[in-house]
Structure 1
Amino acid sequence: MSDSEWSVELARELYGLNNYMRQEFIDVDDEGFLVVKVNGYRARLLDLMKKFGLSNAYVRVLPAIRWAMDQVVRAYLETSEEAQYRGRLIPVYPLKVDANPVVVETIWRHGRRYNWGFEVGTLQELKSIEKYLSEETGVLVVDGFKTSEELEALKKHAERGWRVILTIESEREAELAGRFLDSIEVGVRLKPMTRTGSKWSFTMGFASKFGMTLNHLMMMVKDFPFLKKALTTIHVHGGSQITDIKAVARLAHEAVSILEDLRELGFENLNVIDLGGGLAYPYLDLRDGSHESPNYTVRDYFKAVLSAFRKSKRHPDLVFENGRIITSAHRIVVAKVLETREYGPEEYEESLDLDFIERAKDMKELERSLVEFREVLAKMEGKEEWGIRAKHIIETTRARMINSVVSKVMRMVLDNPLELSEVLKYPTLFKIVTSPSKRFIVSYSLFADIPDKTIVNQYFQVVPLTRLNEKPHVLASLSDLTCDSMGEYREYYSYVSRVYDKRQAFTGMDSRLMAVPGVKVKLGGIPLHLPSSGEDYYIAFLDTGAYQDMLAMKHNLIGEPPEIIIDESSEGELRVECLKCESKGYTDMKTAGQV
């Protein structure tokens, strides 16, 4: 297929693979296969799935975690040097993001060079890292509800040399902290007034369940005067995934202003600011400031924060507890397409008159006529007395209406000097021409594998493992194997910078619009290929390495799939191992070989 029809570079754009947080590891080869690349080695994901005989799996690329940690530290060092900033970075990993032992082990081992610590919120999380707390020393930031049992455990770690920062949020916690002042530091979580606009903005503000107001702190100090000397840290959390860099800057300015004012009031030992997990991961890297696509990078984040912090007379240290940016890229959910079905009604017999579609002279006329006709059709569909022949006619009419509109719009664009963006002006037409025509039944569970899709409608990039050098055939929805109607993924954000031929903007078989050059377009389905007879066609959900393991549900008792672990050996070679690959006998992390 010639470049005028399709290209691998166009596929990289359409499927969002030019992403600064994962393009180091995920790519497309010249034959259109999705590959993982590590240290000069490349492994086709399709080959890995076939090697172990799997219909679904979690593929963990552990070097992606180490690379992300390196990028964070490098960005901080570069921006602090440019800003002549003297405060230190205190990186900690929040276990709530992903406490999978393989992930935690990777972070701990690699993080030793940076003194990377942990953030815990429960006694169970603390117990899960006991073996590391006994090995070396580091930093522990403690959030969440505290108990005497938890503080006794923390005291033991502090006595071993760990720096423990206990963040308090109430009088009860202040009273508990007062018993352990000889071994731990005390921080306080305060409610910021800054509004960040993130999906998690409800976790801040006066009504938030987290933190206390400044008024509350000042009243509490009267009952616990030791806090004036004991407090070393203020935690000012702006909510996860702050996608606008201006909001990050506002939060940082408010935090350092509070720090300076509290110092003036006698909190002389305050020298640490924790901004929580606001640094946004680019699930879509278009830099537009949307929920999917932050308008900044890791380096931009530190530049905004340190620009605010450097105005302090004594530059504070920064606690960095952004786990999402560290682990998101490392886990890929891979699942096989088991079956394809029609998404909507099919043509069968005669239909109502649809000549108005062909008679329409332009999109404006077609939109107006279509809105009127759909209202009539909806009323007909609502009648209970229709017999089977009438129902055949109505179903066929709807199917032909969709197909005719799609065909008409494509011809209007191709046969006339119309820009593709013209379609965006007409909501009814746009909805139809970007709707799915196929339903793919896929070997995955949305609830078990990517639960944030149902919890907060989190966007995850979807990519086929093969045929990326071919033009997609259809827009499709991805139905999982559960009995729940919510177990379906079909939201897709499309972006390409340019097309050489307008035909590249339409799918090859169902003629759906899948791209408008220079415009971010929200499609109703995912651009994919129709599997040929006997073909093993797989789908990958990228960036599922943060929170999804911890939030996984047991819906329909669907268990965890096998895990393919990709890592570097001590000699720098790519190693591939598998957990729970019973069909091939690879169990207990036995080496599956090098690819």
Structure 2
Amino acid sequence: MKRWSIKDSAKIYNLPNWGDDFFSINKKGNMCVHPSPNSKYSIDLRALVDDLIKRNIKPPILLRFMDVLQGRIAAINRAFKNAIAEYEYPAAYQTFFPIKVNQQRQVVEAIAQFGKKHNMGLEVGSKPELVAAISFATGENIPLICNGYKDNDFIEMVLYATRIGYDVTIVVEKLFELERIIALSKQSGIVPKLGIRVKLSSKGIGKWSTSGGDEAKFGLKISELLAAVDILKQHGMLDTVKLLHFHIGSQITKIDKIKNALIEGTRIYVEMRKMGVGLEYLDIGGGMGVDYDGSKSSDFSSANYTIDEYANDVVYQVKNICDEAGVKCPNIISESGRATVAHYSVLVTNILNTNTQNALPDFEEALAKTENLSPTVKKLVDIYQSLDRHSLRVDYHDTIQLIQEAGSLFNLGYLNLHDRALAEWLCSKIFIKISGIVDRLKNVPDEFQEFQLSLRQTYFANFSLFQSLPDSWAIDQLFPIVPIQRLSQKPEVMASIADITCDSDGEITSFVGENGRAEFLPIHKIEAGEDYYIGFFLIGAYQEILGDLHNLFGDTNAVHVTFNRKTNYKIDTVISGDATWESLKYVQYKGPEILKHVRDTLEKGVASRKISFEETSHFLELLDKALVSYTYLGSI
């Protein structure tokens, strides 16, 4: 039999197809992160985690690889630079990062820094995001685009920011906004830089398709667009409209949907230019997909195109239509937040426990004395002892029928608890035998492919699905999950991954597999005393900001890592995860009040002799320790 290799592991986790050359497996069998695609340098994830634990930084740990973030920004801009050169496009490209995708200060700060040489901007959609963006743009000449609903204070902030030199474009989402912007502009004497968002009839695909089309939440219908042009003309402000914006949804999986939107959006741009509107920019919004499962398909966790294909289609379609109409080509803007940040962060955590079949009691001795067993259990014993590939299908069907029969007999009082337990044990053992036979078959019948799921074990990981991967729970988003060690060894177990919340929804049962979506994760049997870690990849977009406090599990520890040729890596920043008192504070509990209530109760307990002074002291020590400790689990 061929010896298992790291190439086999890369294949079963589909690593080459979703990793975009930022991730690999080294000769030790450990997962690695590369500072740039195909770089010969890498950071060993297992070694990094071991070092962090020695620094008392405990799992779960969110690792943010800043070189990867820089690499993604460079890749998007390089793709458009090449497309502009290939098609001799006469204008420029500019990327804007939508802060909503990851609002963490250190992340936005890094994007602003890395994006300087590309003249990268920030997109905001709320007043708090505007305040944050202005703080980053101060003295840095970072352009800003303001989308979303706006009140008068929001509009005035933009106007006065414009007066003191900020490059801010305020995008009209609704017709009534335009009237207020014009009124406040005249009142302040400040001329705004305007954009208009239009609703396209073209729609995206998948979970976010309703972001486009006539019923979209944001944007002006064509009739409203014409009304807006008339209003602007009446006020002599046609030349203040510099940008036309459209957006047909996040994670667009099919390139033809993007092409359709580009054609329609560019046609509208052409018509508006002919009407005398001073447009200089075409903002095509976000939607560039991330191939989470590596299938290069139109599944909503994938994308059937590359960054280069996306850039080429954008530039070609816009130039072709503008040249045909004899209209000046616009500067192109995209807001590809997901594609920018998805790759740069990895959550690593430890496996706490499993519900493995090996944990079942051993009934082998009972098989030697079957005379006192019920007929149903005796039949299961016979199947267990005689099973081979020739009787596989019949024995499989009989086992299913007999285990159901055992349950019914128990409920009717005709089977004792010991025999029911023995029946369950025999069923598990028979299924394991069947699995071993099925693994050696060249052609596996469909019913046995489904049967494999019955052997799926549950591995309990030290994290909250709702805090760290909310999209996995909410919309069944796939994220690559890979053990970060022992990848030179064949994984023997098929598992689901459960979190530590008290919620049955806190379990992942869909995974990135060799051929797309899979119903189990290949994983190793954990050896006694082994610290075993898994990594959740491509989680940089939306997950941190959407995570919630289910069971009061708070933010995880976060570590910013950069590559260093001398020391392999450098820890730039460590952000401590939430302590218990911090999670409690979010929901209006106060540590001192909790301690007071407990002390009062303990005093009553001492007075009534229910608890000793020593026990009281020990309990308060435990409570104090719990309040200041990490919300996640330590050693078990």
The residue type paired with residue 116 of structure 1 is: M
1:31 is aligned, of 14, 28, 31, to 28
Q: 1:411 to 1:383 in 2, by over 3 A?
A: closer
1:484 is aligned, of 493, 503, 507, to 503
Given that 2:301 and 2:478 are in contact with CA atoms closer than 8 Å, whether structure 1 keeps it comes out as yes
Partner of 1:252: 262
Partner of 1:154: 158
Partner of 2:89: 85
Deviations 1:441-488 (A, max 9, x none): 111111111111122211110011110000002011211111111111
What root-mean-square deviation, in Å, do the aligned CA atoms of Structure 1 and Structure 2 show? 3.2
Distance 1:446 1:199 in 2: 20
Residue 242 (1) aligns with residue 256 (2): no
Distance 1:344 1:234 in 2: 62
Residue 15 (1) aligns with residue 23 (2): no
Distance 1:72 1:406 in 2: 48
Q: 1:580 to 1:241 in 2, by over 3 A?
A: closer
Distance 1:547 1:128 in 2: 17
Q: 1:395 to 1:210 in 2, by over 3 A?
A: farther
Deviation at 1:256, TM superposition (A): 1.1
Residue 524 (1) aligns with residue 519 (2): yes
Deviates more, 1:304-313 or 1:432-441: 432-441
Partner of 2:52: 52
The count of residues paired between Structure 1 and Structure 2 equals 544
The residue type paired with residue 3 of structure 2 is: E
Q: 1:228 to 1:34 in 2, by over 3 A?
A: same
Deviation at 1:279, TM superposition (A): 0.3
Partner of 1:442: 461
SS of structure 2 residue aligned to 1:180: helix
Partner of 2:586: none
The residue type paired with residue 196 of structure 1 is: G
1:537 is aligned, of 532, 538, 554, to 532
1:212 is aligned, of 220, 230, 237, to 220
Residue 62 (1) aligns with residue 57 (2): no
1:377-416 alignment to 2 at 5 Å?
Answer: 385-387=411-413, 389=415, 400-401=426-427, 404=430, 407-408=433-434, 411=437, 414-415=440-441
Q: 1:562 to 1:289 in 2, by over 3 A?
A: same
Distance 1:151 1:480 in 2: 44
Distance 2:218 2:526 in 1: 49
Distance 2:545 2:68 in 1: 19
Deviations 1:320-378 (A, max 9, x none): 11111111111110111111114899686875656599699699x669x84x9868966
1:461 is aligned, of 458, 462, 480, to 480
1:296 is aligned, of 294, 297, 305, to 305
1:117 is aligned, of 110, 118, 121, to 121
Deviations 1:495-530 (A, max 9, x none): 1xxxxxxxxxxxxxxxxxxxxxxxx25432211111
Deviates more, 1:354-363 or 1:125-134: 354-363
Residue 554 (1) aligns with residue 559 (2): no
**Percent identical:** 23
Q: 1:224 to 1:6 in 2, by over 3 A?
A: same
Distance 1:28 1:570 in 2: 19
Distance 1:466 1:525 in 2: 18
The residue type paired with residue 180 of structure 2 is: L
Deviations 1:218-248 (A, max 9, x none): 2444455446444332222111001111211
The residue type paired with residue 284 of structure 1 is: D
Deviation at 1:91, TM superposition (A): 1.2
2:349 is aligned, of 335, 339, 353, to 335
Distance 1:395 1:544 in 2: 42
Given that 2:482 and 2:536 are in contact with CA atoms closer than 8 Å, whether structure 1 keeps it comes out as yes
Given that 1:436 and 1:525 are in contact with CA atoms closer than 8 Å, whether structure 2 keeps it comes out as no
Distance 2:87 2:394 in 1: 58
Given that 2:43 and 2:568 are in contact with CA atoms closer than 8 Å, whether structure 1 keeps it comes out as no
Residue 326 (1) aligns with residue 340 (2): yes
Distance 1:194 1:343 in 2: 52
Q: 1:390 to 1:278 in 2, by over 3 A?
A: farther
Distance 1:42 1:360 in 2: 46
Distance 2:231 2:566 in 1: 59
1:265-276 alignment to 2 at 5 Å?
Answer: 266-276=275-285
Q: 1:219 to 1:154 in 2, by over 3 A?
A: closer
Distance 1:139 1:105 in 2: 14
Partner of 1:231: 241
SS of structure 1 residue aligned to 2:244: strand
TM-score, normalised to structure 1, is: 0.83
Distance 1:271 1:209 in 2: 25
Q: Provide structure 1 residue ranges, at least 5 long, that are not aligned to the other structure.
A: 496-519, 583-595
Partner of 1:316: 330
Distance 1:374 1:345 in 2: 22
Given that 1:340 and 1:439 are in contact with CA atoms closer than 8 Å, whether structure 2 keeps it comes out as yes
Larger Rg: 2
Q: 1:259 to 1:359 in 2, by over 3 A?
A: same
Deviates more, 1:558-567 or 1:48-57: 48-57
